[in-house]
Structure 1
C-alpha cells in the first residue's frame, strides 16, 4: 500500500438449469470500497510518546493540565472545532476533582455523525504492581494509545485530499481511570467511580439533543501482541457495528488481532454512552476471555516499551477504513 487503499472483492455466483439443456452464464458482482488514506503508525506513536513525556496525566496535576492544553492545540492545528466540557466529580476517596472532557468536531454541519472516543487521563496508583504501588503509572497504552490513534485519525482526515462523507466528533473523556483499588478494605461500592467523564457527558452532552449514528471507543489499542475480542456490552448494544468493524479489520489483513470470539462485559466509557446517551458505541479494547486484561494493566509496565506500531496500524487503519465507508 502506498498513498491509498482500495479494497474490493468478487462474489461469483453460477446458475445452472436443472435440466441439462439450459444453463446461465456466470454472474459477476463486484463490490468496491471507497478509497481510504494511509494511517501513519509512526505519527500515532509520537503522539503517545508526547503524552508520556508530560508524565502521568492524573487529574489535578501539572502533567494533566499540560496534556489538556497540548491536545486542544493539536486538534485546533488540524482545523477542527474544539470545545471543552468542564465539570467536577467526586472520587472514591471523597476528593473533588476538576475534570475536562475535550470535544473536537470535523465537518460540524454534517447531519450524520460518528463518535471516536478515548480517555486521556491516567491512573494515580499502580495497584496491580508489586512495587511503587502508590505511585502513578505512565499509561502509555491505558489512555495514551487511544488518544494517539484519535489524534492521528484527525490529522489524516483533515490533511488528506480524500474526505469521509460524515461528520466526526472526537470526544476524549477525563477521569476514566480512577476507580477504587481492588483491595477489599479500600473499596467504596456506593456508585461507579470509574468513567467519570463519560458518565457526566452521557447525561449532559456538549450539545442539546446530540446524536451520533454510532461510536467507537479506543482503549488500550497499542500493546505488543494485543488481541481484540468482541466485548460483551458492545455485542449487546451494537452487535452490527462490532461485526462490521471486525470484518473490515480481517479484510485488511489483521485477522490475528481482530478475533471473532466474544469476551465478557467491561465497565468502560462506552457502557454509559450506550445506557445514558442512547448512542450505540463499541469498545476496541485488549481484554482476553482467558486472562482478562494484560499483565501490564495498572502497573508500571504500562510504558512506551509496551507500545507496538503494528498494533497501532491495525487499529488505526481499521477505524479509518470504517469511517470512509459511511
Structure 2
C-alpha cells in the first residue's frame, strides 16, 4: 500500500440484533461504538500460533510478485488449502495492465463455505506482494518478504475457516473468501508520469472482481477486508471509506472487539482517508464492506515504519495482534448466526 493511493482515491446496534440495516446510511446514532454490554454467543477460540504458521508458509514461497514462480506456487497452495478447509473454489484469472504497460498473469481466488446458506458474509484480503520496497531509503528497487502486507490477512481468514471446520458448533451462515490479486502494483513514489488506469494503478484484483462477480447476481450481507493485521503495535481505526459505505458494520465490529477486551487494538477513532480493496467492492458491487487495516494516528507514520520496506518480514509479526483480529471476526460470525 502507498499513502498516495489512499489520499488520491477515494449503526450502532445492540449486538444481539446483529447487523440489521447495515446497508442503510449512518444516522447520528450510528456514528459511535455502543457501550452496551450484551451476552455474546459462544465462539470457539482462534489459534494465533496456527495463523502465524500460515503467514510463514506464504513467506517461504518468496515474494508473491505477479508473473513470478513464487506467485504461481503460492496461489496453487492457497487453492489447495481452501479446499482442505471445506470450500468450493473458483479461480478468476485475468490479465491486467500496470501503470507502466506490463501485462500481468493474475488470479483472484474465491472460496465458498456453506454454499447453501442464503445469508453470506465476505472475508477478503489481497495475497500479492509489491514488486519493490520503495518506502525503504536503502533498498527502493528490491523485493521484500511482505509478511504483514497481504499474508497476515490471508492467514487470519484461513485460521477462522480451520477453527470453524474443527468446531462442533458451526455458524449457520455462508462465508465467501475473496483473495484479491494485484492490489499492490501501484507506481513507486518516484514515478512522475500521469497514471490513467483505474485507482491510480492499485487495487486491480478488487476492481476486476467487483465488475465481474464470480457468480451471476452475487451479493452478500456485508464484507470484512483484512489488510496488515499482524504487526506488533498495530492499531485499527475507523477509516473514512468504511464509515461512508458501511458504518453499521464497522461500529458493530468495533463494539464486539471492545467487549472481548481488544480496545487497545480497535481504536474508537475516525482516522484514515484510505482507498483499499473495500472501495471497489462498495462502489461497483454495492456490497457494504469495511477495512480492518493497521493505521497509526499517533506515530507520524500512518502505516508503520515497516510499510513497503525490508522490515516487513516475520520479525514484526505479533501473535497478540493476530489473536485480537481473528477472535473478533470469529465472534462476529457467530453473532451473525444468531439472527437470520
Q: 1:61 aligns with which of 59, 65, 68?
A: 68
Which residue does the alignment assign to 1:12?
none
Looking at structure 2, the residues matched to 59 and 184 of structure 1 have their Cα atoms a distance apart, in angstroms, of 20
Q: 2:296 aligns with which of 285, 288, 294?
A: 288
The 5 A counterparts of 1:239-318 are: 239-290=247-298, 291=300, 292-318=302-328
What per-residue deviation string (whole Å, max 9, x for no partner) do you get for residues 55-80 of structure 1?
A: 00000101101100111111111121
Q: 1:81 aligns with which of 88, 99, 102?
A: 88
Which residue does the alignment assign to 2:22?
none
Looking at structure 2, the residues matched to 70 and 205 of structure 1 have their Cα atoms a distance apart, in angstroms, of 23
Of structures 1 and 2, the one scoring higher in RCO (CA 8 A, sep 6+) is 2
Residue 237 (structure 1) aligned with residue 253 (structure 2): no
Which residue does the alignment assign to 2:134?
127
Residue 163 (structure 1) aligned with residue 170 (structure 2): yes
| Larger CA Rg, structure 1 vs 2 | 1
Residue 151 (structure 1) aligned with residue 158 (structure 2): yes
Asked if structure 1 preserves the Cα contact closer than 8 Å seen for 2:225 and 2:290, the reply is yes
Looking at structure 1, the residues matched to 263 and 38 of structure 2 have their Cα atoms a distance apart, in angstroms, of 21
Which residue does the alignment assign to 2:27?
none
Which residue does the alignment assign to 1:108?
115
Counting matched residue pairs gives 300
Q: How far 1:96 sits from its partner (Å)?
A: 0.6
What secondary structure does 1:241 align onto?
Answer: helix
Instruction: Tell me the TM-score normalised to structure 1 length.
Output: 0.89
Q: How far 1:133 sits from its partner (Å)?
A: 1.5
Looking at structure 2, the residues matched to 132 and 265 of structure 1 have their Cα atoms a distance apart, in angstroms, of 28
What per-residue deviation string (whole Å, max 9, x for no partner) do you get for residues 72-131 of structure 1?
A: 111111121111101110011100111100011111011110000000001000100012
Instruction: Tell me the TM-score normalised to structure 2 length.
Output: 0.86
Gaps of 5+ in 1: 1-7, 10-28
Asked if structure 1 preserves the Cα contact closer than 8 Å seen for 2:37 and 2:259, the reply is no
Q: 1:34 to 1:268 in 2, by over 3 A?
A: same
Which residue does the alignment assign to 1:176?
183
Looking at structure 1, the residues matched to 191 and 63 of structure 2 have their Cα atoms a distance apart, in angstroms, of 25
Asked if structure 2 preserves the Cα contact closer than 8 Å seen for 1:78 and 1:159, the reply is no
Moved more, 177-186 or 204-213: 177-186
Moved more, 33-42 or 307-316: 33-42
Q: 1:245 to 1:185 in 2, by over 3 A?
A: same
Looking at structure 2, the residues matched to 198 and 132 of structure 1 have their Cα atoms a distance apart, in angstroms, of 28
Q: 1:42 aligns with which of 35, 49, 56?
A: 49
Which residue does the alignment assign to 1:224?
232
Q: 1:78 to 1:180 in 2, by over 3 A?
A: same
Q: How far 1:190 sits from its partner (Å)?
A: 4.6
Q: How far 1:191 sits from its partner (Å)?
A: 3.4
Gaps of 5+ in 2: 1-14, 17-35
Which residue does the alignment assign to 1:208?
216
Looking at structure 2, the residues matched to 309 and 70 of structure 1 have their Cα atoms a distance apart, in angstroms, of 23
Q: 1:190 to 1:80 in 2, by over 3 A?
A: closer
Q: How far 1:234 sits from its partner (Å)?
A: 0.3
Relative to its length, the structure with more strand (as a share) is 1
- CA RMSD after TM alignment: 1.6
Which residue does the alignment assign to 2:31?
none
Asked if structure 1 preserves the Cα contact closer than 8 Å seen for 2:234 and 2:296, the reply is no
